[in-house]
Amino acid sequence: MNIIVVGHRHGQSKSYRLTSALRFLLLGCLFAVPFAMGVSGFWLSAWLQEEPPLESAATEAWEEELERQRSELEQVKEQATQELQALTIRLAALQSRLMRIDALGEHLVQATKIGADEFDFSVQPALGGPSLNAGHYQAPGISEALDQFAERMDSRERQLEAFSSILTHQRISRDRYLAGRPIQKGWMSSAYGTRVDPFTGKPAWHAGVDFAGKQGSGIIAVAAGVVTWSGDRHGYGKMVEIDHGNGYKTRYAHCFELKANMGDIVKKGQVIALMGSTGRSTGPHVHFEVYKNGRTVDPATYVHRTHR
């Protein structure tokens, strides 16, 4: 078999003779190339079906990332909600403590009679001062600010409680201070010391002072204390005895009716009995005695004392 190739120049041509082997080789190539292309197409199609396209893989990756971010955002929201609830509870507790501090402050203002314009708990305290290093200041977080606020409240609460304790001690000391007359109405009818006994007409020792008045008028405690006797006693009739501490005791005798019982805690100025004439008595009055460390002293010293 001959193959003639014609060139462009001068119409020249060349003739090639194909041998039998070469003819079979060319025919094999003609059949092999389509077959190879078909196999390659089939393999490429199968591969494309097994492997997702690049765009699909990128989309799935983005969706997974978005889902993860959504999950983290939900966790952050839940944590923020829990922290906000905790801060709300803590703020309510601080407000409650602040109300107690304000109430204590108002009580101390009233107890000490400080002018309301000097220490008013109903308004915010005035603050001020120059700004130092303002450019480097960093505002504290909510939790840190609440911690600082709580510390200031603790300090102020301790100071007010100490102040209240001092005032309470002063009040108790003032209430236990013996001073004043043991009656609401009446007059002193007999002094402390030697006198003429109204029954025998002879000189006799009088261990107290007598205050005459109207039957049934009030007899009051000259100081706060504990009732250690309430009942009949020889010579005294119906009597009340009060222990005021620090070695002091007082007695109120010849009562018509007793208003305080043994073991009672009485306040200064409290009515403990009604004036009468029981026991060794010539008429309605109260026999008032003051004991210091177990011995009687002149009650007039305490009757004319200045009140604290």
Residue ranges per domain, the chain? Answer: 2-50, 70-121+144-175, 187-303
pLDDT at 227: 95
- What is the DSSP-derived secondary structure letter of residue 282? S
Name residue, tokens 């222990």: 243
pLDDT at 280: 93
Q: How buried is residue 202: exposed, middle or buried, by Cβ count under 10 Å (0-12/13-18/19+)?
A: exposed
pLDDT at 159: 67
Q: Count Cα neighbours of 198 within 13 Å in the Cβ-side half-sphere.
A: 8
Below-70 pLDDT ranges, the chain: 1-36, 38-39, 41-57, 108-142, 145, 159, 162-173, 307-308
Buried/exposed 106-137: b ≥16 CB within 10 Å, e otherwise: eebbeeeeeeeeeeebeeeeeeeeeeeeeeee
Q: Which of 259, 221, 220 is nearest to 242 (CA)?
A: 221
Q: How buried is residue 174: exposed, middle or buried, by Cβ count under 10 Å (0-12/13-18/19+)?
A: middle
Name residue, tokens 């194909």: 18
- What is the DSSP-derived secondary structure letter of residue 230? E
CA distance 112 to 254: 39
pLDDT at 221: 96
187-303 CATH choice from 3.40.50.2000, 3.40.225.10, 2.70.70.10, 3.30.750.24:
2.70.70.10
Pairing status of strand 271-275 against strand 218-220: antiparallel
